[in-house]
Structure 1
């Protein structure tokens, strides 16, 4: 009985550590993607651990995962920084999204799931609600595109798309801070109406225009705010301060 209790205790502690690490990783990733931690921001393991109420170990492990995703960079003897938006990774994510989402429209069934159709209608109504914040619209946008994949029977492919578009998501948020989302919401309506009418060619054309409009917007942001984007030189940043949250 004693051995069993100890064994169960070890499992519990191990699961707790994994849960803590996962929570820290998801929190830090969200802060990077939502620009709460902007491109180029300096990161301190001590400050991050104190603000999140955890030890340095899950913070360090989470930063390693974010480095692997290209969202954090570590410069020896200088420090860790939120990576600047990489135009090449933005382009790769844009290519992946277009390939997956256009292909999925070819697999739409003749009879669409009425429950999913109803959810997408409600989503579009919410997108046109006055006073939406950038994050409110971004969440609805994600749900809409995921919903279209689900209609075509490819909902599980969304996880692959999400994992590849961290740099694109940050660039899109930069654009939404300056551009009202109404135009993108109207494009969603155009795509959805084509889907409902069975016009696959029209839906594909509207989706392609929509996704490329987002990419063009990213390029405009890059021209206006080049300091937020990675340069070809890969210069090491100068550490002036660390990130501290209240």
Structure 2
């Protein structure tokens, strides 16, 4: 039976959100029976959603055995960071060059909502707004397809950032970083926009080893010995 794509996509999106927010933590076993009950579906759309998440490296499926949330792969996160860093710098620079006055206004509104979410301790809303901030820049730079590709590949980075977000100072830092990006774009300063976004994206990667030391059970052990600086290719 062919299921409507929006059913599978909805399950997939919600599971991705729960995994990336650590609601379903790395290493957690996933009961298909429980998930079918939670989403009110049969096995087919759930299976297809899990297969997609497996392709993204967020789920491990062991046939006739178990399905589990994958551990955070730091080497994967660092490699995707290089691609994400380059693409986000380009999007910010293009947005600054286009100098659309509507964009700084939209970004300011998102930042204000983030401040409110942080003050209310609503990290889920704060994270949604964080994605909205970056999505808005890519949309104004007319690079939405690039953003979609990055989102599919960024699960390990997103979980790293979710761990970092649990530290109280992280929300303050993100608001300050977003404000710097917004100001550079508003000024039409391409170089400053690149610098601001590069600084913003590097923080969780820079302390990734500390995050792993704090929660070693969340991380895989296939880390490459060459611990290059994450900004070296930027």
Flag whether TM exceeds 0.5 (same fold): yes
In structure 2, what is the equivalent of residue 150 of structure 1?
A: 139
Structure 2 unaligned spans of 5+:
224-234
In structure 2, what is the equivalent of residue 231 of structure 1?
A: 221
Query: Which runs of structure 1 show a deviation greater than 4 angstroms over 4 or more consecutive aligned residues?
Result: none
Give the 5 Å matches for 1:51-130. 51-76=38-63, 78-108=65-95, 110=97, 112-129=99-116, 130=119
Q: CA separation in 2, counterparts of 1:23 and 1:188?
A: 29
Shift of 1:101: 1.1
Which segment drifts farther, 146-155 or 95-104?
A: 146-155
Q: CA separation in 1, counterparts of 2:32 and 2:217?
A: 24
**Contact map agreement 1:172 1:218 (CA 8 A) in 2:** no
TM-score in terms of structure 2 length? 0.84
TM-score in terms of structure 1 length? 0.81
In structure 2, what is the equivalent of residue 136 of structure 1?
A: 125
In structure 2, what is the equivalent of residue 167 of structure 1?
A: 156
In structure 1, what is the equivalent of residue 173 of structure 2?
A: 183
Q: 1:74 to 1:111 in 2, by over 3 A?
A: closer
Q: CA separation in 1, counterparts of 2:62 and 2:219?
A: 17
Q: 1:126 to 1:67 in 2, by over 3 A?
A: same
Q: Residue 121 of structure 1 aligns to a residue in which SS? A: helix
Q: CA separation in 2, counterparts of 1:109 and 1:41?
A: 42
Q: Residue 106 of structure 1 aligns to a residue in which SS? A: helix
Q: CA separation in 2, counterparts of 1:19 and 1:111?
A: 34
The structure number with the bigger radius of gyration is: 1
Q: Residue 220 of structure 2 aligns to a residue in which SS? A: coil
Q: CA separation in 2, counterparts of 1:90 and 1:215?
A: 8
Q: What is the CA RMSD across the aligned residues, in angstroms?
A: 2.2
Shift of 1:76: 4.8
Q: Residue 108 of structure 1 aligns to a residue in which SS? A: helix
Q: How many residues in Structure 1 have an aligned counterpart in Structure 2?
A: 220
Shift of 1:228: 0.2
Q: CA separation in 1, counterparts of 2:220 and 2:102?
A: 43
Q: CA separation in 1, counterparts of 2:14 and 2:98?
A: 40
In structure 1, what is the equivalent of residue 231 of structure 2?
A: none
**Contact map agreement 2:99 2:185 (CA 8 A) in 1:** no
Which segment drifts farther, 103-112 or 86-95?
A: 103-112
Shift of 1:193: 1.1
**Contact map agreement 2:104 2:183 (CA 8 A) in 1:** no
Q: CA separation in 1, counterparts of 2:77 and 2:187?
A: 32
